[in-house]
Amino acid sequence: MKLSKKEKKNIDIFSRKLVKKIIDTAFVAGSNSAHIGGALSLVEIVSVLFGSLMKIDKNNPSFPNRDRFILSKGHGCLVYYCALANVGFIKEEELKTFEGSPSKLLGHPVKNREIGIDFSNGSLGMGLSLGIGVSIANIKLKKENKVYVIVGDGECNEGSIWEAAMSAAHFKLKNLIVIIDKNNFQQTGKNKDIMDLKNISQKWKSFGWIVEKIDGHNINQIYDALTSNSKRNKPLAIIANTTKGHGISFAENDNAWHHNVLSKKLYEKAITEINKL
């Protein structure tokens, strides 16, 4: 399916709003659990999903035929919350309560269907197994819903990811799409230094998945990968090459921004850069 110019423009606008909301929310919260770097690496991917492709309805959050979204790398939740605000599940003012008390918006997603969160997540390696359960249920119920799971490349160090990957291929879960946020970092350093994944595409292929490799910041490539292979009888893994902290110069490829706190000076610098987008 080809992305139209109008739809591309809409996704671009969605994406710019998302970056602004992430920075605003992180600054107001003043939290070192905001995980700005890992949220920014997902902006374009989440914009294509929530701004274009996913079947969701803010007026009926639990309708049975909705698509499911699972953020397995739950620490990147700011991009999720801000996308939900973009589409109207969460009020703009509610973003200011992030990690406050009380708040529905904690440091990892907590299930709350009223605001569009179908699954709790945080402990790395869990999300793909959740996605498999939902995919199997949908197939048994003869539903056409898609299940989108986002995992981190560092998260792929978890053995549970590969048990789940093997199961998904065995059960031919054609409605399951996993997007691997390959920004090459995890909490304490570079993936290649901590646990080198080597050829991650070949690994997913060897587990029986269809694999697409893309630039995770290129909206056209993201859209094409998510809409191609519609007749497949296997699960789809999209290896999205991304930049941690993408779009904010001082945060790009600096792993300190896995969980740094924005000062007023850096916040103003980020806003200046965003306004030039």
Tell me the residue length of the chain.
277
**pLDDT at residue 28 tops 90:** yes
The pLDDT score that the predictor gives to residue 150 is 98
User: Is the per-residue pLDDT at 1 higher than 90?
Assistant: no
pTM of the model: 0.97
Mean pLDDT computed over every residue of the chain: 96
Predicted local confidence at residue 230, as pLDDT: 74
How far is Cα 253 from Cα 242, in angstroms, rounded to an integer? Answer: 10
pLDDT in tens, 151-205: 999 999 999 999 999 999 999 999 999 999 999 999 999 999 999 999 999 999 9
Q: Determine the Cα–Cα distance for residues 181 and 38; give it in Å rounded to an integer.
A: 9
Backbone region of residue 88 per phi and psi (left: phi > 0; alpha: psi in -120 to 50; beta: other values): left
CA dist 115 and 104 (Å) reads: 9
Can you tell me the distance from the alpha carbon of 179 to that of 64, in angstroms, rounded to the nearest whole number? 23
The range of the structural domain enclosing residue 246 comes to: 5-275
Counting the structural domains of the chain, the total is 1
Q: Which pLDDT score, from 0 to 100, does residue 8 have? A: 97
CATH classification at residue 132: 3.40.50.970
Instruction: Check pLDDT > 90 for residue 32.
Output: no
Residue 40 contacts residue 34 (beta carbons within 8 Å): no
